[in-house]
């Protein structure tokens, strides 16, 4: 969440620099981010209830984190708290989110990437990877062969997106 929010908020700051070389953020990869803290739209229910690896975030835990972060209810609608509110052109051109479908943050991330790709004009490189049967932080301590394989797949995709960003001219 913080990386996505920071990327969107700092883009106009970097663009306004009065130097001959403009610094740009060209790539961003986020694993299982909280992308929507708005209570009226956030889904918070995973499509799959039993993860192979990782954990399930209990609804009360999500509530504690959300209300601790957004003390003022208006904060829920701030792009820094709900990065899904960023427009497609506010984010780096190579943008990847990876989330397991047994993670309560899954569907909010799906909605976010779909919003970016359906914008006019669409985001140039927003991609979502859904990792089957994996929970929150599944990649940190995989519990079986399939989880290790999925972790390697996700990490390779992240490296690919980072390389795409480095390949762009600054």
What average pLDDT does the structure give for the chain? 89
Per-residue confidence (pLDDT) for residue 69, from 0 to 100: 83
- DSSP assignments along 37-71, one per residue: --TTT-----SSSS-SSSB---HHHHHHHHHHH-S
Phi, psi of 99 (to 5 degrees): -150, 140
What is the domain count for the chain?
A: 1
Per-residue confidence (pLDDT) for residue 134, from 0 to 100: 97
Q: For the chain, report the end-to-end CA distance as a whole number of angstroms.
A: 25
Q: Sign of the C-alpha dihedral, residues 15, 13, 158, 128? A: negative
Task: List Cβ neighbours of 59 (8 Å cut-off, separation of 6 or more).
Answer: 44, 104
CATH number for the domain that contains residue 78: 3.40.50.1820
Task: List Cβ neighbours of 4 (8 Å cut-off, separation of 6 or more).
Answer: 28, 30, 33, 35, 83, 86, 91
Identify the CA nearest to 33 among candidates 91, 89, 120, 72: 91
Q: Is the pTM of this model over 0.85?
A: yes
d(Cα 165, Cα 101) in Å, to the nearest integer?
27
Query: Where in the sequence is the domain holding 44, given as residue range(s)?
Result: 2-167
pLDDT digits (tens, 9 = 90+) for 39-74: 887 778 899 989 999 999 988 888 888 888 888 888
């Amino acid at each position: 969440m913080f990386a996505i929010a920071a990327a969107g908020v700092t883009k106009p700051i970097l663009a306004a620099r009065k130097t001959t070389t403009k610094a740009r953020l060209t790539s961003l990869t986020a694993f299982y981010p909280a992308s929507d803290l708005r209570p009226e739209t956030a889904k918070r229910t995973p499509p799959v209830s039993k993860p192979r690896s990782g954990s399930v975030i209990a609804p009360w835990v999500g509530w504690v984190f959300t209300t601790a972060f957004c003390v003022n209810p208006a904060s829920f609608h701030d792009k820094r708290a709900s990065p899904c509110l960023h427009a497609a052109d506010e984010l780096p051109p190579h943008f990847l989110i990876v989330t397991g479908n047994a993670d309560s943050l899954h569907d909010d991330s799906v909605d976010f990437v779909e919003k970016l790709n359906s914008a006019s004009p669409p985001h140039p490189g927003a991609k979502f990877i859904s990792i089957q049967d994996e929970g929150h932080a599944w990649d940190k301590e995989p519990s079986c062969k399939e989880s290790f394989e999925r972790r390697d797949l996700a990490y390779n995709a992240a490296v690919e997106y980072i390389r795409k960003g480095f390949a762009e001219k600054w």
